[in-house]
C-alpha cells in the first residue's frame, strides 16, 4: 500500500514494529493497520491522554506515510451552531396584530 518504493503494506512486519514501541494497544494497532491496508480513512475518538496521537505518529513513522492530525473540529462546529442559533433567535421579532 504505502511507504516509499512499496505498493503493499506488510501488516505483520509493521504491526510487530509498532507493537514494540507502543505497549498494551495491540488490538488498536492491528485495526488501524488493517484500515490503512484497505485504503480507508480513520477517525479516532477518545479521552485525552489515551495514546491516540502517539499510536498514529508511530504507525506513520514506521510505514513512512504522511501524518495529518485534525483536532477540535467538533467542538468548533458545536459552538458555531450554538452561536448561530442565538443570533437567529435574538434577531427575530414578533409582529403585533
| 37's grid cell | 491496508
Work out whether the CA dihedral 83, 88, 91, 96 comes out positive or negative: negative
- The pLDDT of residue 33 is 93
Q: Tens digits of per-residue pLDDT, 42-97? A: 888 888 899 998 999 999 999 988 887 777 655 555 555 545 545 554 444 444 45
Q: Tens digits of per-residue pLDDT, 6-25? A: 446 678 899 999 999 999 99
What residue ranges do the domains of the chain occupy? 11-91
Task: Tell me, yes or no, if the pTM score tops 0.95.
Answer: no
Q: For residues 1 and 94, what is the distance between their CA atoms, to the nearest angstrom?
A: 60
- The pLDDT of residue 96 is 47
Number of H helices, E strands in the chain: 4, 0
Q: At what angle do helices 26-37 and 52-63 cross, to 10 degrees?
A: 50
- The pLDDT of residue 78 is 53
| 49's grid cell | 491522554
Amino acid at each position: 500500500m504505502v511507504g516509499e518504493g512499496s505498493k503493499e503494506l506488510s501488516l505483520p512486519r509493521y504491526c510487530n514494529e509498532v507493537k514494540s514501541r507502543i505497549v498494551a494497544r495491540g488490538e488498536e494497532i492491528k485495526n488501524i493497520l488493517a484500515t490503512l491496508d484497505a485504503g480507508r480513512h480513520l477517525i479516532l475518538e477518545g479521552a485525552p491522554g489515551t495514546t491516540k496521537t502517539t499510536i498514529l505518529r508511530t504507525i506513520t513513522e514506521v510505514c513512512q506515510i504522511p501524518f495529518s492530525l485534525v483536532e477540535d473540529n467538533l467542538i468548533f462546529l458545536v459552538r458555531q451552531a450554538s452561536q448561530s442559533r442565538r443570533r437567529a433567535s435574538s434577531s427575530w421579532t414578533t409582529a403585533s396584530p
